[in-house]
Amino acid sequence: MVQPIELDDDLVERMNGYLEDGETLEEFIEELVTIYEQGVRFLQEGASRLTESHTTDVQRARVDRHLS
């Protein structure tokens, strides 16, 4: 199923400036969505690692306090 979308002429002009030879706007938008999804995934994984790291630091501090 194809969903039509309306884009401002200025935006279309800007996007056209980034198109590679023979690339369509649809292909360009698909690439943008892929890049966005990868960025979101990267940020989520990074946040998850930060949380895990912080949790580990908190756990170590508790153990250290308990042993002292």
If one compares 29 and 57, the residue with the highest pLDDT of the two is 29
What pLDDT score does 40 carry? Answer: 77
42 belongs to a structural domain: yes
Say if CB 25 and CB 19 are below 8 A apart. Answer: yes
Structure tokens at 58: 């908190």
Residue 55 in this model has a pLDDT that exceeds 70: no
For the chain, the domain total comes to 1
Inside any domain, residue 14:
yes
Contact (Cβ atoms closer than 8 angstroms) between residue 25 and residue 16: yes
* Residue 3 counted as domain residue: no
Does residue 37 sit within a domain?
A: yes
pLDDT per residue as tens digits for the range 4-50: 999 999 999 999 999 999 999 999 999 999 998 888 777 777 766 66
Residue 42, pLDDT score: 75
Q: Can you tell me the distance from the alpha carbon of 56 to that of 23, in angstroms, rounded to the nearest whole number?
A: 48
Which of helix, strand or coil describes residue 63?
Answer: helix
